[in-house]
Amino acid sequence: MTAKFANYVARDTESHGMPLRYAYPPYPVGWVSREVLRGYVDGNDPITGKPLIQEMVDALIHPLTDEEKNPQIAKRPKRPRLLKKDTVENYKRMFIENGWTDGMPIELPTEERVAEMLTGTDHPPDEVLGMMSVTTHEERYEYTVEKVAVNAVMAGARPEHFPVILALAAGQEPSMPSSTTSFGRMVIVNGPIRKQIAINCGAGAFSPFNFANSVIGRAYTLMSFNFGNARINENFTATFGNVTNYNNMFAGENEEESPWEPLHVEKGFKPEESTVSLFRGWNINHLGMGTGGQMGTSNRMIDAMNGLQSIIPGGTFVLDPLAAKHLKELEGFKTKGDFRQWLLARIKKPQEAFRLRVPATISLVVVGGEWNPMFTTTDFVHTQTVSIDQWIPKRGIRFDENPIRMPSPVTCKDGSCWL
């Protein structure tokens, strides 16, 4: 491991009860010359101050210590359900200083508020939903329906949002996996619940103009702090971080204006089912402009995807409905599948998944308000689609008496903006 990760490794070793032997070259080993790397090999481990290569040799020939032969796993104690009593002012400070929030104001999760949130599902509060970690190897933290409700309250959500938040938790996938590369996230909802709880699928869907999009997307990241145990500079190593994690590009697919079958139907769900789909990647190029010429939009999409620097093969195009209609009606792509195969045959990426034309490599999602035939190009890959319906109460979504709604986005219904 490089020296930058010495603390990370120490924490990992303690957690696993497996004191592997490490030697730490300076950081970074990537993007440096061979001469620099030779200097690392001939030099000292910056953590221990000892010759690096001798440490590596010694690690192979020095006998195991008693501690190494009898490793112990550090047990973290169970956490009490309630926090110690304190003032409102102190609680607000405590939640921020303990790293339980994104730093913005929260609703304190009192028993009354959490009980109200729990009316948004029939599932019992003590039902275990799963486990999560922002790393691939650290201890996962287990969470119940009630714990999800606590984080939903903190995010400012209402009971009508709770089924979607439960579905996100059921995915057991943190919104921001730990990586120096700084993962971004996109969340897309399909099915009837989009309209029922007023999720924005149209104009400005990724902008902060919608209550449901904001609070549900925020709840996802609060759960990643508190269930995924994200700790900056300890187990969370993103160099830049990623601005998408504030609400995780939460939006709905504009099924009503899309000329193609919805995303969740592609994934095997029925049109009348509600689902939430997760996408993970890094790069977003928002300004992709289609054209009216033959194959103009599709060729520009290929150029945009080829221009993204990505590590993992794959990508997702988010299309304004006008761009999607253009592709179907003017360029002849009758289905998403037709278009996907056409793209895979032409995108020039070195990764095997593109070369082998694995269908899951490219996703197509229709979002937007029909202002122009534009598209957004991302290197996000679809990771999973989770059912929401199982979390909705049998009597239906639990709405407030007077549900909160922000101003609705303007939509183009008369076709005058179909350029």
Binding-site string for another protein from residue 388 to residue 407, where x marks contact by CB under 8 A and - marks none: -xx-----------------
Whether residue 344 contacts residue 313, with contact meaning beta carbons closer than 8 Å, is answered with no
Return the SS3 of 13: helix
Whether residue 392 contacts residue 343, with contact meaning beta carbons closer than 8 Å, is answered with no
Q: CA-to-CA distance for 382 and 395, rounded, in angstroms?
A: 32
Under the criterion CB under 8 A, does residue 131 sit at the interface with another protein? yes
Q: What token pair was written down for 312?
A: 């993992």
Positions in 141-160 near another protein (CB under 8 A)? 141-143, 146-147, 150-151, 154
As measured in angstroms, the least distance from the Cβ of 88 to another protein is 5
Q: Of these, 7, 28, 303, 400, which contacts another protein (CB under 8 A)?
A: 28
Q: Of these, 43, 104, 119, 137, which contacts another protein (CB under 8 A)?
A: 137
As measured in angstroms, the least distance from the Cβ of 349 to another protein is 14
Residue 69: in which H helix or E strand, if any?
A: helix 66-69
Closest CB to another protein among 100 and 246? 100
Closest CB to another protein among 9 and 412? 9
Residue 319: in which H helix or E strand, if any?
A: strand 315-319
Closest CB to another protein among 328 and 336? 336
Whether residue 103 contacts residue 225, with contact meaning beta carbons closer than 8 Å, is answered with no
As measured in angstroms, the least distance from the Cβ of 128 to another protein is 9
As measured in angstroms, the least distance from the Cβ of 382 to another protein is 6
> Residue with structure tokens 């924005």?
200
Closest CB to another protein among 22 and 317? 22
As measured in angstroms, the least distance from the Cβ of 4 to another protein is 6
DSSP 51-64: BHHHHHHHHHHSPP
Under the criterion CB under 8 A, does residue 170 sit at the interface with another protein? yes
Alpha-carbon dihedral 349, 350, 354, 357, rounded to 10 degrees: 120
Query: Residue 247: which residues within 8 A CB-CB, separation 6 or more?
Result: 208, 213, 214, 216, 217, 218, 220, 221
Whether residue 317 contacts residue 355, with contact meaning beta carbons closer than 8 Å, is answered with no
Closest CB to another protein among 172 and 291? 172
The interface region with another protein, picked from 283-291, 297-305, 336-344, 387-395 by CB under 8 A, is 387-395
Positions in 78-107 near another protein (CB under 8 A)? 78-83, 85-89, 91, 95, 100
Closest CB to another protein among 42 and 261? 42
Q: Of these, 7, 50, 105, 111, which contacts another protein (CB under 8 A)?
A: 111
Closest CB to another protein among 111 and 329? 111
Binding-site string for another protein from residue 40 to residue 59, where x marks contact by CB under 8 A and - marks none: xxx----------x--xx-x
Q: CA-to-CA distance for 218 and 151, rounded, in angstroms?
A: 9
Residue of 121, 1, 9, 21 whose CA lies nearest to 62? 21
Whether residue 215 contacts residue 156, with contact meaning beta carbons closer than 8 Å, is answered with yes
Positions in 220-259 near another protein (CB under 8 A)? 222, 226-227, 229
As measured in angstroms, the least distance from the Cβ of 43 to another protein is 11
Closest CB to another protein among 27 and 209? 27
Whether residue 343 contacts residue 394, with contact meaning beta carbons closer than 8 Å, is answered with no
Under the criterion CB under 8 A, does residue 419 sit at the interface with another protein? no
* Distance, C-alpha 236 to centroid of its chain: 14
Positions in 334-353 near another protein (CB under 8 A)? 353
Residue 66: in which H helix or E strand, if any?
A: helix 66-69
Positions in 255-294 near another protein (CB under 8 A)? 267-269
As measured in angstroms, the least distance from the Cβ of 377 to another protein is 20
Alpha helices by DSSP H, listed for 17-48, are 34-42
Under the criterion CB under 8 A, does residue 5 sit at the interface with another protein? yes
Closest CB to another protein among 235 and 298? 235
Under the criterion CB under 8 A, does residue 379 sit at the interface with another protein? no
Strand-pair partners of 364: 317
Q: CA-to-CA distance for 40 and 60, rounded, in angstroms?
A: 19
Q: What is the DSSP letter of 79?
A: P
As measured in angstroms, the least distance from the Cβ of 108 to another protein is 6
Q: CA-to-CA distance for 144 and 166, rounded, in angstroms?
A: 10
As measured in angstroms, the least distance from the Cβ of 111 to another protein is 4
